[in-house]
Amino acid sequence: MTINWKNVQRLSSDVLRRRVGHAARQCTRSFSSAPGIEQRLVGQVAVITGGASGIGAATARMFTRHGARVVIADIQPSLGEKLLKELGPQAEYVECDVRKEEDIEKAISKAYELENRLDVVHSNAGIIGCVGPIDEVRIDEYDATIAVDLRAAVIAVKHAVRFMKPQKRGSIVITGSVASVRGGMGPHGYTVAKAGLLGLVNSCAAELGQHNIRINMISPELVSTPLAAFALAALAEGGSQSVTVDDIDRIVKQNSMLPDRLLTHLDIANAALFLASDMGGYISGHNLVVDGGKTAAHVLQAGGNHWSTKYMPMVAENGKRGL
């Protein structure tokens, strides 16, 4: 499959501009509408990979509003600098390609150096990666998917623990997916990586509790992010199909257990805050699924066990050109 990357970038920018902006306004209203609300991360330091857009940016906003200093580690400097202007002096940006261990190490070290402490590491960066039937998967694309979606998290945990062990405290949060617990919720490489993250969380929780370090995962369903725009565009023939924020929201609503409520970045940022802060202080090794009950009800995609069998026909039904 040939992907039109310029088109994917345009789609991602559209999603980012409209949906992330909406989530930011929601976050602001949510925080400011409760006078005297207790700030949960005052004096703490956090680093967020993939923090310049989508879920990462929403979480950066949430953490700073709760008093944390945040290092935004991302490969998108223009978006990172734009977010810095919004968040002010509580935020820092460092360019970080999560495929490179030295970049992740640099970002985490930078966070520690802010206050000589490291309280929260949110490993959030991810890609959809290789798509298509298993017998057509290109192994080089599969390897690239694993490098970003799984290997990078292992590296982030490794370097986070190096700082957290001596201080005898810390919280690690990893962005997973409903694909971590159900087949048919994403492409094969992505699903393997997200399931691997769950194994990482379980394994590390067993080791790190003795050091007072907690590690948990958030597994959301499809939400309007640049990653979602890429996913649907990549599934379209030649990557040329037009996909809008409204399309993604319509797809989610039609496939939701809670049809009157759309999943937003704010929902996921709230989950991250809960797990990162003392509110989740006795929780470790947990996979917090944020899907409105879909996986609990064992709902799979209609017409087969591959996610595209439902999502792409919905796009086509909405007047778009299908596969």
Per-residue pLDDT reduced to its tens digit, 8-27: 444 444 544 554 455 454 55
CA distance 311 to 120: 35
User: Which ranges in the chain belong to alpha helices (H)?
Assistant: 5-15, 21-32, 54-65, 77-87, 101-115, 139-146, 152-167, 188-208, 226-235, 245-254, 265-276, 308-317
Residue 93 annotated to the active site:
no
Distance CA 233, CA 13 (A): 13
Q: Region 251-271: what's the mean pLDDT? A: 86
Per DSSP, 121 falls in state E
Give yes or no for residue 312 having a pLDDT over 60. no
Average pLDDT taken over every residue of the chain:
83
In angstroms, how far is CA 147 from the centroid of its own chain?
15
Confidence tier at 248 by pLDDT (50, 70, 90): confident
pLDDT of residue 233: 61
Give the C-alpha separation, 67 to 22, whole Å. 22
Residue written as tokens 């929260």?
Answer: 120
pLDDT computed for residue 4 by the predictor: 44
249-255 average pLDDT score: 76
Lowest mean pLDDT among 104-108, 157-161, 295-299: 295-299
pLDDT bin (cut points 50, 70, 90) of residue 250 is confident
| 177 in catalytic set | yes
User: Distance between CA 182 and CA 229 in Å, rounded?
Assistant: 21
User: In the prediction, which pLDDT does 97 show?
Assistant: 98
**Assigned fold of 5-28+43-317:** Rossmann fold (3.40.50)
In this prediction, residue 247 carries a pLDDT of 73
pLDDT score at 322: 29
59-63, 165-169, 200-204, 252-256: least confident range: 252-256
Question: 224 an active-site residue?
Answer: no
Rounded average pLDDT over 36-40: 80
| CA nearest to 254, candidates 246, 243, 266 | 246
Question: Of these residues, 123, 190, 284, 308, which one is catalytic?
Answer: 190
Rg of the chain (C-alpha set): 19
Q: What burial letters (b/e) apply to 139-149, b meaning 16+ CB within 10 Å? A: eebbebbbbbb
Catalytic residue among 12, 93, 142, 194: 194
Query: Would you kindly state where each structural domain of the chain is located, as residue ranges?
Result: 5-28+43-317
Whether 57 shows a pLDDT value over 90: the answer reads: yes
From 53, 123, 171, 177, the catalytic residue: 177
